[in-house]
Amino acid sequence: MFEAVVEMATNITTPSSEQIEPSALAVFGGWFTSIHGYSSLTVCLFGIPTNLINITVLSRKDMRNPTNALLCWLAVADLLTMVSYVPFVIHFYCAFDPYDFSPEKFTFPWAVYMLFLINFVATTHTISNWLGVSLAVFRFVQLRSTTKGAVAKRRLYSTIQKVIAGIYVCSCLVLVPNYMTNKIVEYSDFETNKTAYFINDIKLGTNDTKPIVLVNVLTYSILTKIVPCILMTVFSGSLIISLNLSGRQRRRRLSVTSNNVRRESRQAKTTRMLLVVIILFLLTEFPHGLLILISAVVPNFYNSVYSPLGDLMDLVALVNNAINFLLYCIMSTQFRTKFLQMYFNKQSTFKDMERTQLTTSLRTTITTH
């Protein structure tokens, strides 16, 4: 995230006297930068309260289970991303023109904030990606598991809590070398006797790229983007296969109890909802990871392709952070009912809704056979 910040520094540190005709991608990037400020701010102003709602609903005592625990801490990571992004986008895109490089805009305190923000958001995105992997793995294991009972559920919930804590801690530790890559550099205007502060240009994809920087970028793209996306793809495919098999087995049963129908229907809906969440992760993070990887090894790819798409990738990532609330409301009856009860005092009974769904499922089963 925040590729445009580094691009700002690049434009200052590598001025060119040659007038080069901009490519179509560069023209698009320039246009999107002009609308990025208010569009991303709008997404954040929607995503911050909705993620707060996600956290308050999913952390309720009667909503606590391993899946909701993962989704709750995913909402925490998404919330931290958007809250930290708001001051940045207001100052650098709304209060000032995006292409203004004046010392009034690039003061030292704001440069420090940029440096913090780049590292902080890299961490929260890494946490989100590995929580997405955990969702896929956990759901796959849960569908395959034959262990039932309250004791088994408590043990699984305790295990998930340890996994979540491990992801938060390990994400911070893994990115320590990456934290050391970016630094603040200053540029003085001798005519006005003012100094502007920028993030240093790492010269990615050039002969001037330092080996340690190249290693850090490759490590970041592989461990925080590519590998999580591959794992999510593998386990998502397995989930789809398991979902289809369980659906066929349910339809083959001539006699089923109401409890089985209710449990299997709820499991299928939860699995489908998690699949949508995971697929959105893949659509957002996998292209980003590939672009970072290519930028590190292909000359001039960073400046010609990656930088013009920086603001677009930022906005897509923010939308992914903000959209989960809508998915939960649309695809989860339990979440929707609890949300209405908590925030609108709607005492619509969840059992009545379940009873209606149960009747529909029984009718479908009888009709099929």
Q: What is the pLDDT of residue 14?
A: 38
Work out the average pLDDT over 315-328: 93
* 80 pLDDT higher than 90: yes
Work out the average pLDDT over 253-264: 51
Q: What confidence category does residue 246 fall into, taking pLDDT thresholds of 50, 70 and 90?
A: low
Bridge partners of 197? 186
The reported pTM is 0.83
Bridge partners of 198? 185
d(C-alpha 277, C-alpha 218), whole Å: 26
Give the range among 12-16, 121-125, 130-134, 172-176 with minimum mean pLDDT: 12-16
Q: What is the pLDDT of residue 241?
A: 81
d(C-alpha 231, C-alpha 138), whole Å: 12
Q: Assess contact for 98 and 34: CB atoms under 8 A.
A: yes
Task: Tell me which H or E stretch contains 200.
Answer: none
**CATH number, domain 3-14+23-354:** 1.20.1070.10
- Tallying the residues shown for the chain, one arrives at 369
Q: What confidence category does residue 347 fall into, taking pLDDT thresholds of 50, 70 and 90?
A: low
Task: Tell me which H or E stretch contains 211.
Answer: helix 211-221
* 93 pLDDT higher than 80: yes
Q: Assess contact for 2 and 88: CB atoms under 8 A.
A: yes
Q: What is the mean pLDDT of the chain?
A: 82
The residue type at 62: D
Q: Residue with structure tokens 């490089």?
A: 101
* 367 pLDDT higher than 70: no
Q: What is the pLDDT of residue 368?
A: 42
φ and ψ at residue 187, rounded to 5 degrees: -130, 125
Q: What is the pLDDT of residue 12?
A: 40
Q: Which token pair is 111?
A: 């440069």
Q: What confidence category does residue 271 fall into, taking pLDDT thresholds of 50, 70 and 90?
A: confident
Bridge partners of 186? 197
Residue with the larger pLDDT of the pair 117 and 188:
117
- DSSP for 71-115? HHHHHHHHHHHHHHHHHHHIIIIIIS-TT---TTTS-HHHHHHHH
Expressed in angstroms, the distance from the first to the final Cα of the chain is 53
Give the range among 46-55, 56-65, 301-310, 338-347 with minimum mean pLDDT: 338-347
Work out the average pLDDT over 219-243: 88
Q: What is the Cβ-side half-sphere exposure of residue 236, based on CA atoms within 13 angstroms? A: 19
**Percent of the chain beyond pLDDT 70?**
80
Q: Which token pair is 288?
A: 């980003």
Which candidate, 316, 314, 317, places its Cα nearest to that of 7? 314
Q: What is the pLDDT of residue 17?
A: 38
* 235 pLDDT higher than 70: yes
SS3 348: coil
Q: What confidence category does residue 206 fall into, taking pLDDT thresholds of 50, 70 and 90?
A: confident
